[in-house]
């Protein structure tokens, strides 16, 4: 393999720290984790170029639902992927053996590897891992097969249904596609699922158990049963045909979120390996934090204690002060309570600096991709920041006195960002935060 000796060579140039024990100097190698590639399938575009253009222009990917008849639902909008052809990414044989969620994951993984400038020949299989997150994986396909069985008989379902509907199929299919023989995991922790996947990949590289990790998430929740459930829960916006003007994170007239589908994959790589092969670097991941409200399944803690704790743990893990953060990629769902609590937690943790931090709610353009939301939104931040821009929060028209931070309203803004935080919160009180550093500030 091309990099079988490259990793060992790169280690010679690794950052080291020294300590003395019994008069002897002990050298400890400090491994760093960087993002060297990304791939994305989103309602605002497939691939980073189209997504970047639409995000910076402040466009919305929210349109009337076409996947099923939504005439009886209060919400008739969603973030659908309408121009996806799986044969652009997998063979016809593989397309027939995978369902939509896995196809999205495979497509995003291929784009990410190409963006990182790597092929299968450039990686060591045993040191390459796959780590994915999803909330419901192939549940929609499972229900379709159940309907087919009831209507046509017990032997009239897809012969690969048993493997196609499993959540672990995401990481497995991608591992097979890239001959990644290292650890392979799929996480399901509601909306924080892809952040769990990224943090696991981060830990693998830090511990020396992997040199490259394909980390991400995929979600295809646009089917009637799940849509009905969220409608009954009053989680979805009821603006009906209000195209492109909902969701409205942090706006005083927000009334809920919009459900979307898609996938995102990051290539996480050991810093010294990436430098040795001359890779471009989007950012370095320097820490993360997670918490659980331990309060209610569908309601965050009213004092935002879990949200605040996750962000604080991320800062402690990163060993930086809150004043270092220039930008926050907010969870910002557009729900009445959630946006207030996230704003409250930011103000409590950051103090006066909270009013100097730029905060973006990109679900205003993408909708809510459930378990894939964290990684897809991270892709948005990385591609915008690489162009020197901070993504906007569109549909922000009415100030809410409880949401009084700088939400980069309606227009992308040119800004220098050295450190930024990404937030993700989900059902069951799951809370996650990542902190990334512009690599230029650490060279």
- Catalytic residue positions, numbered: 191, 331, 368
* Helical (H) or strand (E) element with 269: strand 262-270
247: preceding bond cis by omega (within 30 degrees): yes
**CB neighbour list of residue 440: distance below 8 Å, 6 or more residues apart:** none
Cα 41–365–357 angle (5° rounding)?
A: 110
Euclidean distance between CA atoms 171 and 360, whole angstroms: 30
**Contact between 6 and 273 (Cβ < 8 Å):** yes
Task: State the angle between helix axes of 139-152 and 100-115 in degrees (0 to 180), rounded to the nearest 10.
Answer: 150
CA 279 centroid distance within chain: 22
**Residue 218 to residues 45, 101, 340, 411: CA-CA distances in angstroms?**
15, 6, 28, 28
> What would the DSSP string read from start to end of 318-350?
HT--GGG--EEE------HHHHHHHHHHHHHHH
Q: Where are the alpha helices (DSSP H) in 224-353?
A: 224-232, 271-276, 305-318, 336-350
CA 442 centroid distance within chain: 24
Euclidean distance between CA atoms 339 and 419, whole angstroms: 22
| SS3 of residue 179 by DSSP | coil
Euclidean distance between CA atoms 175 and 169, whole angstroms: 10
What are the backbone dihedrals phi and psi of residue 28, each rounded to the nearest 5 degrees, phi first? -120, 120
Euclidean distance between CA atoms 350 and 356, whole angstroms: 10
With b meaning 16 or more CB within 10 Å and e meaning fewer, what string describes 311-327? bbbbbebbebebebbbb
**Contact between 80 and 64 (Cβ < 8 Å):** no
**Contact between 338 and 371 (Cβ < 8 Å):** no
| SS3 of residue 309 by DSSP | helix
Tell me the residue ranges of DSSP E strands in 43-139. Answer: 45-46, 63-64, 77-78, 128-133
């Amino acid at each position: 393999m091309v990099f079988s000796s490259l990793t060992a060579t790169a280690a010679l140039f690794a950052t080291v720290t020294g300590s003395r024990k019994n008069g002897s100097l002990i050298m400890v190698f400090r491994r760093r984790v960087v993002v060297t590639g990304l791939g994305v399938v989103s309602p605002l575009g497939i691939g980073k170029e189209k997504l970047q253009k639409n995000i910076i222009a402040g466009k919305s990917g929210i349109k009337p639902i076409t996947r099923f008849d939504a005439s009886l639902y209060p919400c008739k909008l969603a973030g659908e992927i309408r121009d996806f052809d799986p044969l652009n990414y997998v063979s016809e044989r593989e397309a027939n053996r995978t369902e939509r969620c896995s196809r999205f994951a495979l497509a995003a993984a291929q784009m990410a590897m190409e963006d990182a400038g790597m092929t299968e020949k450039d990686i060591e299989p045993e040191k390459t891992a796959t780590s994915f997150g999803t909330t419901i994986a192939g549940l929609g396909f499972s229900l379709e097969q159940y309907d087919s069985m009831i209507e046509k008989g017990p032997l009239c379902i897809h012969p690969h249904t048993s493997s196609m509907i499993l959540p672990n199929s995401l990481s497995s299919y991608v591992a097979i596609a890239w001959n990644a023989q290292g650890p392979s995991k799929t996480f399901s922790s509601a909306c924080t699922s892809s952040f769990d996947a990224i943090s696991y990949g981060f830990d693998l590289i830090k511990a020396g158990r992997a040199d490259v990790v394909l980390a991400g998430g995929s979600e295809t929740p646009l089917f009637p049963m799940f849509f009905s459930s969220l409608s009954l829960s009053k989680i979805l916006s009821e603006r009906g045909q209000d195209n492109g003007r909902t969701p409205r994170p942090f706006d005083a007239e927000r009334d809920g979120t919009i459900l979307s589908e898609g996938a995102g994959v990051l290539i996480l790589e050991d810093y010294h390996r990436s430098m040795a092969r001359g890779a471009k670097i989007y950012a370095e991941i320097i820490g993360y934090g997670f918490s659980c409200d331990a309060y209610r399944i569908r309601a965050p803690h009213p004092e935002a204690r879990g949200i605040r704790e996750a962000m604080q743990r991320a800062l402690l893990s990163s060993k930086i002060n809150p004043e270092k953060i220039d930008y926050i990629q907010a969870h910002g769902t557009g729900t009445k309570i959630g946006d207030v609590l996230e704003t409250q937690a930011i103000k409590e943790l950051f103090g006066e600096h909270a009013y100097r931090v730029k905060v973006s709610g990109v679900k205003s353009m993408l909708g809510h991709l459930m378990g894939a939301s964290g990684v897809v939104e991270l892709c948005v931040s990385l591609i915008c920041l690489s162009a020197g821009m901070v993504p906007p929060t569109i549909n922000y028209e009415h100030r809410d006195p409880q949401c009084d931070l700088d939400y980069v309203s309606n227009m992308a803004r040119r800004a220098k960002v050295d450190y930024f935080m990404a937030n993700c919160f989900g059902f069951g009180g799951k809370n996650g935060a990542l902190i990334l550093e512009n690599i230029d500030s650490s060279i």
